[in-house]
Amino acid sequence: MTIRLADTHAHLDLPEILPDQDAVLHRAREAGVDLIINVGIGLQNSRQVLATARQHPGLRATIGIHPHAAASLQEGDLEALTPLAADPLVVAIGEIGLDFYRRRSPEEIQKHWFRQQLEWAFGLKKIVVIHTREATAATLKILQDSRSQLRGGVMHCFGGSWQEARAFLDLGFYLSFAGPLTYPKAEALREVAQKVPLDRILLETDCPYLTPQPWRGKRNEPAYVVATARQMAEVRGLSLEEAARGTWENSLRAFGLKEKDILGNV
């Protein structure tokens, strides 16, 4: 039985992947990864991820500014990106959020542009892909404040507690699990993954980062999402086929995609 997988969060246009992007996409296809969401992190990168999505079947894009780049944003920058959002290949605004771990942009500036990009997404009627690191309480507060306008979205690379998981689930979010689910010390995360409703779970690589076992230490790529799928299957007492099927269907639903549109242009 062949499996079909989705990598709901990849960065195919970063310098770590760009030089052999075609080979990376070929290996993804060989591994059954038929849908990849190519996630934007900056102004120029958002244009690039969409251009890449236009060139390859099975790819979709998100556009947005990562909290690391928040300090470089100026008024008018989001408006300049707005025409891109009209492309049906753009399935979400992201990744946006807060990162108080690396703090590459000041906290208040991150919060400002997180709110601005949420408003932007609401105006465009798009779901959001959220990055949060060491900033869960602040992220939740901002999302809860705009609860009435939220159309849902994805908490990417989820690594929080069950209490935090429940708060994001209550807001209508999907929780996306990445390579760390496979790490030996991630027992607490696997316990959380065991409790999340099956129809709210997504899988991702966040490549080129966060490579799952057994490839940890190497550059990550979408083909490796199978390792996280296998781990999720084990955690949930499912076969790999069942875990793949379930998360595939969730990915389509989360991003408003139809299977025939993804596979039709293969």
The CA distance from 178 to 229, in Å, is: 9
Stretch that binds Zn ion, among 123-131, 146-154, 194-202, 218-226 (CB under 5 A): 123-131
Indicate the residue among 52 and 233 with the shorter CB distance to Zn ion.
52
Residue nearest to Zn ion according to CB distances in the complex = 131
Q: How far is the CB of 243 from Zn ion (least distance, A)?
A: 22
- Is residue 207 within 8 A of residue 220, CB to CB? The reply is yes
Q: How far is the CB of 164 from Zn ion (least distance, A)?
A: 16
Return the range that interacts with Zn ion (CB under 5 A); candidates 47-55, 125-133, 182-190, 228-236: 125-133
CB 17 within 8 A of CB 221: yes
* Cα 113 from Cα 190, distance rounded (Å): 32
**Tokens describing residue 57:** 């079947």
Residue closer to Zn ion by CB (options 7, 206) is: 206
Number of residues in contact with Zn ion under rule CB under 5 A? 2
Question: Nearest 5°: CA angle at 128, between 126 and 131?
Answer: 165
Q: How far apart are CA 222 and CA 204, in angstroms?
A: 8
Tell me whether strands 127-133 and 153-155 are parallel, antiparallel or unpaired.
Answer: parallel
207 is an interface residue for Zn ion by CB under 5 A: no
131 lines the binding site for Zn ion (CB under 5 A): yes
In the complex, the smallest distance separating the C-beta of residue 266 from Zn ion, rounded to whole angstroms, is 25
The region of 27-35, 50-58, 162-170, 198-206 touching Zn ion under the rule CB under 5 A is: 198-206
| Least gap, CB of 210 to Zn ion (angstroms) | 9
The smaller minimum CB distance to Zn ion, of residues 44 and 194, is found at 44
Site string for Zn ion, 143-182 (x = CB under 5 A): ----------------------------------------
Residue 94 CB, nearest approach to Zn ion (Å): 8
Scanning 19-27, 119-127, 137-145, 204-212 for contacts with Zn ion by CB under 5 A, the matching segment is 204-212
Q: Footprint of Zn ion on this chain (CB under 5 A)?
A: 131, 206
